[in-house]
């Protein structure tokens, strides 16, 4: 057994403050950074290539380089950088992700590591890069480019979902089904009408994403405290214009995080809409309902034990991923309260949160569109479910018809409820037959009057206004 180290004298300890009594000398902690560049920010299972590439390390550093070159070009335009130097920077500026990570492991500063690697390529002209700028000018403006690109992808996917919903709604404008409240049969609607409600929400989310693109398309080239002390507001204005951004109204060292919180909240809200749709599909696919059904591909298996199973796995997946999006909302809001002009408590959160939210919603939108486009719809089952217990769901029409004959509403309600409840959940229960055998009803309503009460035409006659609003 090794001999225990002797206690150091106070004099010894004063010479080596890293040592404590009977403790070995502390070694420098290894840098816990990105030792290996990741290809995707999230697990590959839910990361589609288009969005994954936006949030790759390569794309991040490219956005930084775009910002640096735009700022240098602005300086050149203002006569502060020789044109020859700018041309050399444009021609030679490059980076290698692995080299940046190698440098970062030593300097423990990602922007410095990036600039060091860029200058290894550029050479002497590199002295004109990053003049008057702070790291956050690069980080936040580059991040704005990534978020803007992400929103553009999300908008494109949302448009595809809108197209799929509109086509399905148009096909089923007249497909009558039962409407439900509290999960209990209410009155007839059409499946197209249900889809119209989904489409309307998608259109609202389209507007939200349009606004969000403007909210996040904000950059800054304003220096260490945002005061333009070592740069010129014109540099910021020119550089942002070149990048397709607008200058922040008043930044500190960072762009205020309410914009990033709105990004996450908006994505979570879109995800909540997709969860609403997917939850409805799951409910309508239940065996005892079976009014719609997810497409079941050739060769697909529903259960390892039960060969008959056809599970709504894509809708369930959409609902689960919506929870992931919502889980980030609190973190995004908590990122808003930074100390003074800046700290970096938000940085670690955003490295995970923004890529994860972006790729997750992108996947969810693609998945939802596939579900809608391939959805099996069963009108026969809809008709069967609507007419259970002899059409009790037409009770309101019978009530109003009796009231129209001059019967007091309270009395009419009592008569109709009596006949409905005697049919409800009864073997062979038949509401219409009960009415036809009730003298209190037949004395006031003719067979034709009663038949009219059981027509679905009334429930569809005013839906044209909704079709017109949504272009269905």
Q: For residue 362, is pLDDT > 50?
A: yes
How does residue 85 score in pLDDT terms, banded at 50, 70 and 90? very high
User: What is the gyration radius of the CA atoms in the chain, in angstroms?
Assistant: 33
Tell me, yes or no, if 182 is annotated catalytic: yes
Residues 209 and 217: their CA atoms lie apart, in Å, by: 12
Question: Counting Cβ atoms within 10 Å, is residue 306 exposed (0-12), middle (13-18) or buried (19+)?
Answer: exposed
> E strand or H helix at 185, and its extent?
strand 184-190
The catalytic residue among 303, 327, 345, 455 is 303
pLDDT of residue 301: 72
Which DSSP symbol is given to 304?
S
**Domain 135-234+244-296+310-382: top CATH class:** mainly alpha
Q: What is the pLDDT of residues 410-452, one digit of tens each?
A: 999 999 999 999 999 999 999 999 999 999 999 999 999 999 9
Give which of 382, 359, 374 is closest to 314, Cα–Cα: 374
* Residue 309, pLDDT score: 77
Domain regions of the chain by residue span: 48-128, 135-234+244-296+310-382, 387-470
HSE, CB side, 13 Å, CA atoms: give it for residue 33: 19
H/E segment holding residue 377: strand 376-377
Q: Residue written as tokens 């057994």? A: 1
Catalytic status, residue 303: yes
Helix (H) or strand (E) holding 219: strand 218-219
Q: Which of 10, 14, 181, 182 is catalytic?
A: 182
Q: Which CATH class is domain 48-128?
A: mainly alpha
Query: What are the tens digits of pLDDT across the range 211-259?
Result: 999 999 999 999 999 999 999 999 999 999 999 999 999 999 899 999 9
What would the pLDDT profile of 143-178 be if each residue is shown by its tens digit? 999 999 999 999 999 999 999 999 999 999 999 999
Q: Tens digits of per-residue pLDDT, 33-77?
A: 554 444 444 578 899 999 999 999 999 999 999 999 999 999 999
pLDDT of residue 29: 57
Class of residue 322 by CB neighbours under 10 A (exposed 0-12, middle 13-18, buried 19+): buried
Q: What fold characterizes domain 387-470?
A: Ribonucleotide Reductase Protein R1; domain 1 (1.10.40)
**pTM of the predicted model over 0.85:** yes
Structure tokens given for 384 = 């069967």
């Amino acid at each position: 057994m090794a001999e225990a180290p002797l206690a150091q004298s106070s004099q010894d300890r004063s010479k080596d403050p890293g040592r404590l009594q009977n403790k070995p000398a502390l070694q420098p902690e290894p840098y816990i950074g990105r030792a290996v560049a990741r290809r995707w920010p999230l697990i590959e299972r839910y990361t589609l290539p288009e969005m994954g590439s936006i949030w790759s390390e390569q794309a991040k550093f490219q956005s930084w380089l775009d910002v640096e070159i735009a700022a240098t070009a602005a300086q050149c335009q203002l006569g502060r950088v020789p044109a020859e130097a700018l041309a050399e920077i444009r021609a030679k500026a490059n980076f290698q992700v692995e080299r940046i990570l190698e440098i970062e492991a030593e300097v423990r500063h990602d922007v410095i590591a990036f600039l060091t690697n860029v200058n290894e390529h550029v050479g002497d002209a590199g002295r004109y890069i990053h003049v008057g700028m702070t790291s956050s000018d690069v980080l936040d403006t580059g991040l704005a480019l990534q978020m803007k690109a992400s929103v553009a992808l999300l908008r494109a996917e949302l448009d595809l979902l809108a197209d799929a919903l509109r086509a399905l709604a148009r096909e089923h404008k007249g497909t009558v089904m039962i409407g439900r409240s509290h999960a209990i049969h209410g009155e007839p609607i059409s499946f197209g009408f249900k889809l119209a409600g989904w489409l309307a929400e998608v259109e609202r989310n389209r507007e939200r994403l349009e606004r969000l693109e403007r909210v996040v398309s904000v950059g800054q080239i304003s220096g260490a405290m945002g005061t333009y002390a070592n740069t010129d507001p014109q540099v910021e204005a020119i550089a942002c214009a070149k990048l397709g951004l607008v200058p922040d109204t008043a930044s500190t060292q960072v762009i205020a995080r309410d914009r990033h919180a709105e990004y996450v909240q908006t994505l979570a809200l879109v995800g909540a809409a997709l969860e609403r749709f997917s939850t409805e599909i799951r409910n309508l696919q239940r065996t005892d309902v079976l009014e719609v059904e997810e497409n079941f591909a050739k060769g697909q298996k529903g259960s390892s034990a039960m060969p008959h199973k056809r599970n709504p796995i894509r809708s369930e997946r959409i609902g689960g991923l919506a929870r992931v999006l919502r889980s980030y909302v609190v973190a995004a809001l908590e990122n808003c309260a930074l100390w003074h002009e800046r700290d970096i408590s938000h940085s670690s959160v955003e490295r995970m949160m923004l890529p994860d939210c972006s790729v997750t919603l992108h996947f969810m939108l693609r998945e939802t569109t596939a579900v809608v486009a391939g959805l099996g719809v069963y009108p026969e089952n809809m008709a069967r479910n609507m007419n259970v217990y002899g059409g009790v769901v037409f009770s309101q029409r019978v009530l109003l018809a009796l009231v129209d004959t001059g019967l007091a509403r309270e009395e009419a309600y009592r008569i109709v409820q009596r006949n409905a409840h005697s049919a409800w959940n009864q073997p062979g229960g038949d509401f219409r037959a009960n009415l036809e055998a009730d003298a209190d009803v037949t004395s006031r309503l003719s067979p034709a009057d009663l038949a009219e009460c059981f027509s679905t035409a009334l429930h569809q006659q005013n839906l044209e206004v909704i079709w017109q609003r949504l272009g269905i």
